[in-house]
Amino acid sequence: MKVVIAAAGQGTRMLHLTRNKSKHLINVQKKPFLAYLLDNLKKAGYKEIILVVGYKEKMMREFLRKYDYQAEVINQFEILGEGEYGTLCPLKCVENIVGKENFLSLYGDNLYSVKDLQAFNIEDNYNYVAGFCHKHPEKYGVLQIENGFLKEIVEKPKEYIGNLINTGLYKFTPEIFDKIPEVSISPRGEYELTDAINLLAQEKKVKVKKIEDYWIDFGNPADIIKFSKFLKTSKNFK
């Protein structure tokens, strides 16, 4: 199964740390964050990696060479331009590469265990979203489930509707590409992947699979410290 990794953005919430590199290449314990994700994907048995880049593409390619990672690099900015934003954009760039196969999709600033990555190697006709129980669901997209299927992803709900959140790890069938033309630009001026997923959910084509080990979100400077401590103290990291 191919893996599409979205890593085109700069990561402005990392402040000055991304002035000259993308957040995916920020070092933690002397190794870029993205290296931990690629290592776990390799251990999980995934070999065909498609890395969608944009900001500092040259540095991304140098990183792959330095650490001897094999990946097909796609420049989102060359395909869509730098004025089109959103989590749906990487998928717009890979339809011809992925073809008619199921594939894994995730973000380059998130980390999952080998076990959880392996669990998403599912060869059926359903799409899957990785859910994680979180004590602050109001900060994320909350997964609403009905009769075993995803009903809707509600982004940052103002009232409590559950604590199972979307972690950005997906298994998609080629049907996700059919929904891309139906997605309109969101109120914040972006094309949202969750809008396409919600369209599939309306047709009962999306299931939820819970994260069993861990999920690391690498979005701001505080996350660097958290991840560093995790690496030092966690017995479950692999």
- Residues 182-221 have pLDDT tens digits of 999 999 899 999 999 999 999 999 999 999 999 999 999 9
Model pLDDT for residues 26-43, shown as the tens digit of each residue? 999 989 999 999 999 999
Q: If you count them, how many residues does the chain have?
A: 238
Please tell me the predicted confidence (pLDDT) of residue 236: 58
pLDDT at 9: 92
Averaged pLDDT for residues 78-103: 95
DSSP 186: P
Q: Say what the pLDDT of residue 30 is.
A: 87
Q: Is residue 223 scored above 90 in pLDDT?
A: yes
Domain range list for the chain: 2-129+167-233
Q: How do residues 178-191 score in pLDDT, each as one tens digit? A: 999 999 999 989 99
Higher-confidence residue: 141 or 16? 141
CA 98 to each of CA 127, 201, 227: distance values in angstroms, whole numbers, following the listed order: 15, 21, 32
2-7 vs 49-53, strand pairing mode:
parallel
Question: 233 pLDDT band (50/70/90 cuts)?
Answer: confident
Distance CA 129, CA 172 (A): 9
Give backbone dihedrals phi and psi of 169, rounded to 5 degrees, phi first: -105, 125
Secondary structure (DSSP) of 25-71: G-EETTEEHHHHHHHHHHHTT---EEEEE-TTHHHHHHHHHHTT---
Three-state SS at 233: helix
CA angle 124, 200, 169 (to 5 degrees): 65
Please give the pLDDT value at position 181: 96
The mean pLDDT value of the chain amounts to 95
E strands of 44-163, at which residues? 49-53, 72-75, 103-107, 110-112, 127-133, 141-146, 149-155
* pLDDT (0 to 100) of residue 175: 97
Say which CATH superfamily domain 2-129+167-233 falls into. Spore Coat Polysaccharide Biosynthesis Protein SpsA; Chain A (3.90.550.10)
